[in-house]
């Protein structure tokens, strides 16, 4: 249908929902009580909002902006993910305009033109995976410009399936109303037809997740600001006249005390003042370095002084500025993840490097993994401060992440005066161990099983690289950082970092055989989502051989690294490795980062293999 109306051909439902919210319009769609898509939850976490804290129209807008649209999977409601053709495209831009189609205005005696499904493949701007064959079919137009006269009470975004009567091919489409005029018939009025956005089945790797819109981000920030203002007003003011009178009286009394104190000090003789020692630093805040043997003993600080932290430090103190930075970084982490120190206990050391330690321990008697900074670090004051800031950033990233294929982050402990553990991160404990041990301890496995494990890792990377915003890079993707929960695996949440984060404390391991060539011959600035994909290619090789990388080469790791960088040495697969796996592995191990596939490409590749003949391999 065509027509000149404000919302004609407009997929900007964020703007539309916000106008409906502002006008207090009645709500047609109530989001069913089903799990939220991970992209939606990640955006809520990033803004410190909860689903129930959003107004109903903001809930619908966030779902749409994230590409999550309701459908019917049989008798049950479910979300399907909408993808777009290229990066930096929002859901507001997925409607194919009228000049690009073969449809015409429906008016007597002319009705709809036949749908050209071949043209839809080239003109559609969105794709949906038809993974649920029970998605409801609909016998209606496959494309419609929409009409502005639709009542808000009938507005309800849903995905339906259309069938080409000639080729019998199925195409999905997003409908803005639940009931449409049957195919071959005209609607009662040209202005009664809803918006219909044609999409194509998601079968290749040319589509990406939609980019969050600035309009939706602004709305979320406005909601967060308004909620903070309400809390602040509730905490700061009282309508009780008796409380107000007491407040005034206490204020007057406090002023009198201050005046009398000032007069008393003016009457007392002044004691001679000693100049403060040059560059005095109160290191008790972090216990970054021990006091020297010649230091004069200090009086213990009071509880109130310890609570003030940076406020009692001298000006221009690097420790004070670090404390302020840590407070700023960790302020975005939900309060529920700030754990009581007494509830966390380390039992024994599991793994360690020069920069961190991982302990087996307990949180409220529940087994957990605890990551800490080494207590005997040789770093100087500034170096230790840098490590703390990097660790805090890692905590902030982990707190915003929730995915079934990533080890769950529980919370963190941070007490500036704690001499044992300055900062700790707590995650779920995976008792079945690492994928490296699992592959070594078990005999040859079917590729049907190994491809499923690879898909778990690819899904985790897809979430980190494309769903979380800004993107997160893992930097340490190896079989030792993948934990088993059979028949699935989970990516360790420790070590995650925002893309382009200036993490001065991160130093790539030059002997790390999973590292991409550009990382081995440079520094941390070269870590990227592409370097994660190189590591994924190494993982595929290890899954194939079920042996450590380059196990057949009898040479030190530094020699192997040299050959990787200078001679193009790469892991190899067995001759029996299925060709689709070998092909994906070779693409991931490309020397040029731009030639490597994305995690989304890997997901599509592995899903296609598991649905095809490789799923039957034994």
For 540-566, how does the pLDDT look when each residue is reduced to its tens digit (9 = 90+)?
Answer: 999 999 999 998 888 888 888 889 988
CA angle 489, 494, 499 (to 5 degrees): 105
Token couple for 385 = 């401060």
Cα distances from 480 to residues 438, 439, 447, 554, in angstroms, run: 10, 11, 20, 21
Spell out the domain ranges in the chain: 13-219, 332-428, 433-615
pLDDT at 65 exceeding the cut of 70: yes
User: Which residue spans within 353-465 are E strands per DSSP?
Assistant: 357-363, 366-372, 409-414, 423-428
Determine the CATH number of domain 433-615.
Answer: 1.10.510.10
Q: In the 8-state DSSP scheme, what is residue 110?
A: B
d(CA 497, CA 96): 37
Q: Do residues 221 and 47 make contact, with C-beta atoms less than 8 angstroms apart?
A: yes
Second CATH level (architecture) for the domain 332-428: 2-Layer Sandwich (3.30)
Provide the pLDDT for residue 3: 42
Question: pLDDT for 96-139, tens place per residue?
Answer: 876 555 444 444 444 445 555 666 777 888 988 775 445 666 76
- Average per-residue pLDDT in the chain? 75
Those residues with Cβ within 8 angstroms of residue 591's Cβ, 6 or more apart along the chain or in another chain: 517, 568
Condensed to tens digits (0 to 9), the pLDDT of residues 423-453 reads 889 999 999 999 999 999 988 899 989 999 9
| Higher pLDDT among residues 583 and 99, named by residue | 583
SS3 (DSSP) at 43: helix
Half-sphere exposure for 207 (CA within 13 Å, toward CB): 25
Please provide the size of the chain in residues: 618
User: How many whole angstroms separate alpha carbon 44 and alpha carbon 48?
Assistant: 6
**For the purposes of burial, counting CB atoms within 10 Å of the CB of 163, is it exposed (0-12), middle (13-18) or buried (19 or more)?**
middle
H or E element at residue 229: helix 214-236
Q: How far apart are CA 282 and CA 285, in angstroms?
A: 7
**Six-digit token string for 443:** 């005999």
Instruction: Write down the pLDDT at residue 541.
Output: 96
What pLDDT band is residue 171 in, cutting at 50, 70 and 90?
A: confident
Beta bridge mates, 376:
none
Higher pLDDT, 502 or 347: 347
Tens of pLDDT, residue by residue over 278-290, are: 333 322 222 222 3
Q: Are 518 and 595 in contact (CB under 8 A)?
A: no
């Amino acid at each position: 249908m065509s027509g000149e109306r404000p919302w004609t051909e407009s997929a900007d439902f964020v703007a539309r929902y916000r106008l409906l919210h502002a006008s207090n319009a009645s709500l047609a769609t109530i989001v069913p009580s089903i799990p939220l898509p991970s992209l939606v939850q990640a955006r809520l976490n990033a803004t410190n909002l909860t689903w129930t804290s959003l107004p109903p129209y903001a809930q619908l807008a966030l779902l749409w902006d994230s590409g999550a649209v309701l459908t019917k999977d049989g008798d049950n409601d479910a979300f399907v993910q909408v993808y777009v053709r290229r990066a930096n495209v929002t859901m507001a831009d997925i409607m194919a305009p009228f000049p690009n189609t073969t449809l015409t205005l429906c008016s007597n005696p002319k009705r709809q033109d036949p749908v050209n499904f071949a043209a839809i493949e080239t003109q559609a701007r969105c794709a949906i995976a038809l993974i649920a064959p029970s998605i409801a079919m609909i016998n209606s137009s496959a494309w419609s410009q929409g009409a502005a006269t639709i009542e808000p009470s009938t507005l309800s975004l849903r995905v339906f399936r259309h069938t080409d009567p000639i080729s019998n091919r199925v195409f999905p489409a997003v409908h803005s109303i639940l009931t449409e005029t049957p195919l071959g018939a005209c609607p009662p009025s040209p202005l009664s037809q809803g918006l219909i956005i044609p999409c194509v089945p998601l079968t290749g790797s040319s589509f990406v997740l939609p980019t969050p819109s600035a309009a939706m981000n602004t709305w979320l920030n406005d909601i967060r600001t308004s909620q903070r203002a309400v809390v602040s007003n509730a905490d700061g003011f009282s309508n009780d006249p008796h409380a107000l009178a007491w407040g005034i009286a206490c204020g007057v009394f406090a002023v009198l005390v201050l005046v009398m104190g000032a007069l008393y000090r003016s009457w007392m003789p002044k004691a001679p003042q000693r100049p403060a020692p040059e560059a005095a630093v109160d290191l008790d805040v972090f216990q970054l370095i021990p006091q020297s043997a010649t230091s004069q003993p200090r009086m213990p600080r009071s509880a109130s002084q310890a609570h003030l932290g940076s406020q009692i430090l001298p000006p221009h103190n690097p420790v004070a500025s670090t404390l302020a930075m840590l407070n700023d970084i960790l302020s975005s982490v939900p309060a529920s993840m700030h754990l009581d120190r007494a509830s966390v206990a380390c039992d024994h050391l599991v793994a360690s490097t020069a920069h961190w330690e991982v302990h087996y321990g307990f949180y409220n008697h529940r087994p957990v993994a605890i990551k800490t900074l080494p207590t005997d670090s040789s770093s100087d004051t500034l170096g230790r401060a840098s490590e703390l800031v990097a660790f805090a950033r890692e905590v902030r990233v982990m707190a915003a992440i929730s995915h079934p294929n990533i080890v769950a982050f529980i919370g963190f402990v941070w007490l500036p005066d704690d001499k044992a553990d300055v900062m700790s991160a707590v995650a779920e404990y995976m008792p079945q161990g690492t994928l490296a041990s699992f592959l070594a301890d078990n005999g040859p496995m079917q590729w049907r099983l190994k491809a499923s494990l690879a898909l778990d890792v690819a899904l985790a990377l897809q979430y980190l690289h494309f769903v979380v915003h800004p993107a997160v890079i893992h930097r340490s993707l190896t079989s030792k950082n993948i934990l088993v929960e059979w028949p699935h695996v989970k990516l360790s949440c420790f070590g995650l970092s925002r893309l382009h984060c200036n993490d001065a404390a991160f130093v790539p391991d030059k002997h790390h055989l999973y590292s991409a060539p550009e990382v081995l011959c440079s520094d941390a600035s070269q870590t990227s989502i592409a370097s994660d994909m190189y590591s994924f290619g190494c993982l595929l090789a290890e899954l194939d051989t079920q042996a450590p990388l380059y196990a057949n080469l009898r040479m030190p790791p530094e020699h192997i690294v040299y050959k990787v960088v200078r001679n193009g040495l790469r892991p190899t697969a067995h001759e029996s490795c299925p060709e689709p796996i070998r092909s994906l592995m070779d693409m991931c191990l490309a020397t040029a980062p731009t030639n490597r596939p994305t995690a989304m490409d890997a997901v599509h590749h592995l899903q296609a293999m598991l649905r095809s003949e490789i799923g039957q391999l034994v």
